[in-house]
Each structure stands twice: as structure tokens, then as C-alpha cells.
Copies of this chain bind each other. A is one copy, B any other.
Amino acid sequence: MAFLKNAWYAAGWSEDFTDKLATCEIIGQHLLIYRSTAGIHVMSDTCPHRFAPLHLGKRVGDLVQCGYHGLRFATDGRCVHNPHGNGVIPNRVQLQVYPAAERHKLLWVWMGEKSLADPTRIPNFSFVDDPQYAVIKGEIVGEGAYELYTDNILDLGHAEFLHTGLAAAAFTAGARTVAQEGSTLFSTVTHPNDYPSDVVQFMLKKPGQKMDYWGYSRWDAPATMAFDSYLGEVGQPRPDRPAIPSLHIFTPEDEGRTRYFWAVGRSNDINDIEHSERLRAGYVHAFENEDKPMIAAQFRRLGGKDFWEMKPLLLPTDSGAVKARRILAKLIQAEQTDSVDRAVQAMARNTAVQELREQND
């Protein structure tokens, strides 16, 4: 399976990157990440000399010194120091440097053509920056292809069965819509006058109370998702702002391992830190002990075969997940066969549409 290259991938939570040399793997590429006085730097983690991982080396000022033979690289990727013999540095030595941007407390890395990297195309998750929300967040590394993680969130009907704490009739009995605009998917679930899930009741501190429910989700290739829940008094108009915005971003390390970044905001009791901690523990439990083993089991049953080759049963409720797989396949094919520029322009148009929609929403 090829990966989409011309896309912003989440590499980690910003706060986890410091002036220390760190590494992560995205779509099979090993990256070196660190902060200098000039900002954050993302470049190839593999020394071009003998392929030692550069994060095993150390910093010398803003330079990175390989831990094996001491070559030093500048933040622009150039080799600027060879400590051996006559000190000659061949001209062509250049680490690949990746465009990076920090948005919504995440570090995003552009894995494709540098000239096409445009941070305005990073999907909007502004709730994590919004002081009106208390935000809990985390990160999980799981066995399994990232598409399986996307499927998981694009059909929340699984909550009823896999997550007893998150289960709500909204996800099975609610009315759904799915709409594609450009390469972005929007889907909705509405379900009036019913009990929210146990977790939501607990989060809102409104146990045993029926409410109206609106869920909005947005998927952008390759696997970047927003899922916002609005909750209101029965029969009243939909509130302006989501009670529980969330993000679910899946970064493929390689074909069989996925890094899952999640964050959940709430607009009530935002200063109740103990409440946040209990909620965080609940989500971690659901993601680590319920989703992760199920997705790993699915992945093993696929046994290296292509998803479509396995002829999956498609239910009406799978339309979102199926559309996402088709959009992704088309984008990957476009950047491989078409001009990269045109492929990215196609995504740009979608972004414009998306913004329009969000304003009107």
C-alpha cells in the first residue's frame, strides 16, 4: 500500500518536543525532531554517511552531531562539519528537511513536495486552543493499518458494542447523513430526546436526563478527523457551540503500526481538574483496552491481504468509511500518476469549500 505523501501528518503533541533530539516514524520515514532558538526542525533521522540514527547523537549548539562519526548538520540539513582527516565535506550532503507547523497544540509535518506545503491546509481543530474548553488528550500506538482506525471512528455504531461506557442509542438509532465536498467528508447523526451515553452524562454532570443530540464529524485525508457533539435541552434549538468537540488523528508509522492522537474538549466545569482526570482515564481505557485490541485483531485477520480483496460486507452505515477509503485511494493515485500540483490543488479547492461550509454551519 502506498501512502499519501502530500499531506500534513501529526507527528506528536507540541509539548512533547523540546530541545532534546527526538525521533518519530511517519509513513515509513524516520524523522529527527528538535527545537532550536530558531524554531522547530524536522529532518531525516538517518545519517547519509553510515545510516546511523541521528537522534542517537547530540546537539552542538543548533547543530546536530551524529553519534557515530561526528558529522554535523545544520537546521537546513546541510552537513557543515566533518571532523576527520582534511575535513572535506562533499557538496551533495543534505539531509531532507520537512516542512513543519504547529497548530492546535500538535506538530504537523508535510511529507510531500516542499513547495506545496501550506499550513493553512491543516484541518481546523481550534477547540484545543480555546480557553472556553477544558481539553484532555492523549496518544496511543497500536498494531494495525491506519485505515482501520479511520473506519473505527467513521462508524461510531461500534460504541454500542465495544465501549459500554460510551454506548448511546444515538450511534445506532440516530438519523445519519454523509456528504462529500471535494476530498473532505462531512457526516452527521441526530437523535432527539434520549439519554446520552454514560460518559457524556458523567461529563456534563447531568445523570439520567434525556437530551437532544447532534453529532458532526469531518474527515480529511489521510486520516484526520473532527467529531463534535452538541447536546441540548429536549425540544430547544441546537446550541451554538459543541458541548464536546474532539479530534482523532491517525498517523501511520508504517503499514502495520498507527499512532493515534486524540483530544476531547468540554465546555462545562472546565476548571474541575479532578473531573478532567477521571474523564481522561475513561477515554484511555476505551482507546487502549477496547479499540486497540479489536483493531489489532482485525488487522491480523486481514493477514496482509488488501481490504477490498477480502470482500467486506458493506452495511448502509458504512458509507462514510467506504467514501473515505475511495477518496484516499484517488488522492494517492493522483499524486503518483497525475501532476502533484494538480492533485494538491484538488485538495485546496476542497479546503475552500470546507471553510465556506464551516462559516455557514
Where the two chains meet, the residues of A that have a C-beta atom closer than 8 Å to any C-beta of B are 30, 46, 48-53, 56-57, 65-70, 79, 82-86, 88, 90, 92-93, 148, 151, 155, 157-158, 160-162, 172, 176, 294, 297-298, 301-302, 310-318
A84 touches B50 (CB 8 A): no
Q: Nearest-CB distance from A303 to chain B (Å)?
A: 9
Tell me the complex Cα distance, A161–B68, Å.
Answer: 6
Q: Which residue of B lies closest to A318 (CB)?
A: B49
Sample (22) of A-B pairs whose CB atoms are under 8 Å apart: A46-B301, A48-B311, A50-B298, A51-B302, A51-B310, A51-B312, A52-B297, A52-B298, A52-B301, A53-B297, A65-B161, A69-B157, A69-B161, A70-B160, A70-B161, A84-B157, A84-B316, A84-B317, A85-B315, A85-B317, A88-B315, A90-B315
For A151, the chain B residues whose CB sits under 8 A away are: 50
Contacts A30-B301, A46-B301, A160-B83 given; does A88 touch B52 at CB 8 Å: no
Q: Which residue of B lies closest to A311 (CB)?
A: B48
Tell me the complex Cα distance, A298–B50, Å.
Answer: 7
A294 touches B68 (CB 8 A): yes
A69 touches B155 (CB 8 A): yes
Q: Nearest-CB distance from A277 to chain B (Å)?
A: 28
Q: Nearest-CB distance from A261 to chain B (Å)?
A: 22
Of the listed residues A30, A67, A88, A93, the one surrounded by the most CB atoms of chain B closer than 10 A to its CB is A67
Q: Nearest-CB distance from A282 to chain B (Å)?
A: 19
B51 touches A158 (CB 8 A): no
The quantity of this chain's copies bound in the complex is 3
Tell me the complex Cα distance, A90–B172, Å.
Answer: 17
Contacts A48-B313, A93-B313, A313-B90 given; does A67 touch B298 at CB 8 Å: no
Tell me the complex Cα distance, A314–B67, Å.
Answer: 17
B84 touches A315 (CB 8 A): yes
For A314, the chain B residues whose CB sits under 8 A away are: 90
Tell me the complex Cα distance, A71–B52, Å.
Answer: 49
Q: Nearest-CB distance from A299 to chain B (Å)?
A: 9
Partner among B46, B172, B301 whose Cβ is within 8 Å of the Cβ of A51:
B301
Given contacts A65-B161, A84-B155, 11 further A-B contacts (CB under 8 A): A48-B311, A50-B148, A52-B294, A53-B301, A68-B162, A69-B161, A83-B172, A84-B157, A84-B172, A90-B315, A92-B313
Tell me the complex Cα distance, A93–B90, Å.
Answer: 58
What are the 3 closest A-B residue pairs judged by CB atoms, nearest first? A70-B161, A84-B317, A48-B313
For A83, the chain B residues whose CB sits under 8 A away are: 157, 160-161, 172
For A301, the chain B residues whose CB sits under 8 A away are: 30, 46, 51-53
For A57, the chain B residues whose CB sits under 8 A away are: 161
Of the listed residues A51, A86, A312, A317, the one surrounded by the most CB atoms of chain B closer than 10 A to its CB is A51
For A51, the chain B residues whose CB sits under 8 A away are: 298, 301-302, 310, 312
A86 touches B316 (CB 8 A): yes
For A88, the chain B residues whose CB sits under 8 A away are: 315-316
Q: Nearest-CB distance from A121 to chain B (Å)?
A: 30
For A90, the chain B residues whose CB sits under 8 A away are: 313-315
Tell me the complex Cα distance, A52–B312, Å.
Answer: 11
Partner among B50, B86, B294, B315 whose Cβ is within 8 Å of the Cβ of A82:
B315
Q: Which residue of B lies closest to A92 (CB)?
A: B313
Tell me the complex Cα distance, A65–B172, Å.
Answer: 15
Q: Nearest-CB distance from A235 to chain B (Å)?
A: 24
For A30, the chain B residues whose CB sits under 8 A away are: 301
